[in-house]
Structure 1
Amino acid sequence: MIEILNPAELTRARETGALVGHILQALKSRSAVGTSLLDIDRWAETMIVEAGARSCYVDYAPSFGRGPFGHYICTSVNDAVLHGLPHDYTIADGDLLTLDLAVSRGGVAADSAVSFIVGESKPPESVVLISTTERALRAGIAAAGPGARIGDISHAIGSVLSEAGYPINTEFGGHGIGSTMHQDPHVSNTGRPGRGYTLRPGLLLALEPWVMVDTAELITDPDGWTLRSATGCRTAHSEHTIAITSDGAEILTLATPAQL
């Protein structure tokens, strides 16, 4: 299903997106050496509930997971990159942490992810890895607009990732979003320009470049959810929800200065 939102729905999407951006930035600022992943999950729960929203993850039970997910946010550390199930792990100095949050409020969902290094140690390889996914995300957003095609976005993202020397996994990527978290169209992190669905104003997309340093192969933890690099290498993931407008693409999941 591909949804095209009307102006009233887009207004609610902006509100939900701003909430997601605010919560992610607040959680990032509180994530320090010694913080438990379960603390982050509890903080996310409190902020979501107090905002009158709901996490898209608690009851999430797709075919590839061992559902329901049962937590409010995905927390992935170091070699974990997607669907990181919060557990009793204490963050250490130099850990690469990815927080991935999807929330629904007012009947519209928004989805965003941020990767960052906790503490004072900043391993150069991790810094470059994160920066590359952020650049790929900016490139994908720049390629989005009315009349563009999904393949244009995929090509823009993939060009940045591949030029940086990273293998690209195509099992998981970006997606449409609206009244539910995951919708068509699928947005691969590499592809051919000029192919795929033609973008229209009112379409929401969650774009999410993610990579692993030296492999494109994933393995699944015994928890049935957490996806890790097959080689144990570090990973990074950057994501925003955007709305296609009449003149381009609007990022919905930025935290506004007033919220921080």
Structure 2
Amino acid sequence: MIIVKTTEEIELMRQSALVVSKTLGMLAKEVKEGVTTKHLDKLGEDFIRAQGAIPGFLGLYDCPSTLLCSVNEAVVHGLPTDIPLKNGDIVSIDCGALMNGFYGDHAYTFEIGEVAPETKKLVQITKESLYVGIREFKVGNRVGDVGFAIQQHCEAQGYGVVRELVGHGLGRVMHEDPEMPNYGRRGRGKKFIDGMVVAIEPMINGGTHKVRQLKDGWTIVTQDGKPSVHFEHDIALVDGKPEILSTFAYVHEALGITSTDEDEFRKEALVL
């Protein structure tokens, strides 16, 4: 069942999302060669609590960490480790926070030092596909329209679109209806209505779309060992159009990136 949010609830969800956005922005300054993802996890937990929120992943489904850090061929759900990040790595950091009774949940893939050109392109195309998908989240469309758009954008480059893992509705629980696959057929699936809030999160592989789970019971990796990229935003459907509640602006500011990707999905400029 789709749980429609009121205007007031959407504003509370924006606050929860911005906790995650600010956390990712803080981590952007710390993600570098020689740093361990366990260290990043501790920084993330402390920062979220300092903002008056609760880590959204820690303890959820028995998750042992605040962050899920997926390095190179890890697609998602990577548990933090003591292995230092190295030059050329990529790492998706997925983060959640619970505040005001609502969850925020989004992810960003970071590049460590000099990343191979083919991997850098995968990062770029996956990030583009996130906004391609968001553009289709509007009244009159259906779940399949978002998935189709993301799938077409990525498969045109020869990339694999993960099937086993999908985006989702978001609210007072981390995972609500509807499921939001990154593949699909136009005109299929549940219809979008005002007040919906979803997490759209392309998980795109540099090779095959097939994945497997490691023995830790969490980490999902590509079957062929090629890198995978993951980006995620929280979006509300307001007045028939998508409105991004989360932002990568804090990450971009930390990394010195200039971007207008989010501008079309905001009613007014974001003040950092």
TM-score interval for Structure 1 and Structure 2 normalised by the shorter chain: over 0.9
Residue-pair matches, total? 253
Within 5 Å, give how 1:1-260 maps onto structure 2.
1-61=1-61, 68-119=62-113, 121-255=114-248
CA contact (8 A) 2:19 2:53 kept: no
2-structure distance, mates of 1:54, 1:134: 27
**SS state at 1:71 partner:** coil
Residue 179 of structure 1 aligns with an amino acid whose one-letter code is R
5+ long unaligned stretches in structure 2: 251-269
CA contact (8 A) 1:170 1:188 kept: yes
Cα deviation, residue 256, structure 1: 5.3
Cα deviation, residue 95, structure 1: 0.6
CA contact (8 A) 2:31 2:110 kept: no
2-structure distance, mates of 1:22, 1:164: 32
Residue 93 of structure 1 aligns with an amino acid whose one-letter code is N
Cα offsets for 1:152-186 (capped at 9, x unmatched): 11111111011111122211111111111111111
**SS state at 2:161 partner:** coil
2-structure distance, mates of 1:24, 1:259: 17
2-structure distance, mates of 1:243, 1:166: 28
1-structure distance, mates of 2:207, 2:142: 29
1-structure distance, mates of 2:2, 2:102: 14
CA contact (8 A) 1:18 1:256 kept: no
5+ long unaligned stretches in structure 1: 62-67
Cα deviation, residue 101, structure 1: 0.8
TM-score w.r.t. length of structure 1: 0.93
Q: Which moved more, 1:16-25 or 1:78-87?
A: 16-25
**SS state at 1:30 partner:** coil
CA spacing shift, 1:210–1:256, aligned 2, 3 Å? closer
2-structure distance, mates of 1:148, 1:108: 26
CA spacing shift, 1:134–1:216, aligned 2, 3 Å? same
Cα offsets for 1:63-102 (capped at 9, x unmatched): xxxxx11100100101111101011110111111110011
CA contact (8 A) 2:193 2:237 kept: yes
1-structure distance, mates of 2:57, 2:9: 22
1-structure distance, mates of 2:94, 2:271: 19
2-structure distance, mates of 1:30, 1:58: 21
CA contact (8 A) 1:213 1:235 kept: yes
2-structure distance, mates of 1:116, 1:40: 13
Question: Partner of 1:64 in structure 2?
Answer: none
2-structure distance, mates of 1:92, 1:122: 10
Q: Which moved more, 1:33-42 or 1:214-223?
A: 214-223
CA spacing shift, 1:76–1:127, aligned 2, 3 Å? same
TM-score w.r.t. length of structure 2: 0.89
CA contact (8 A) 1:18 1:255 kept: no
CA contact (8 A) 1:76 1:97 kept: yes
2-structure distance, mates of 1:256, 1:210: 21
CA contact (8 A) 1:19 1:255 kept: no
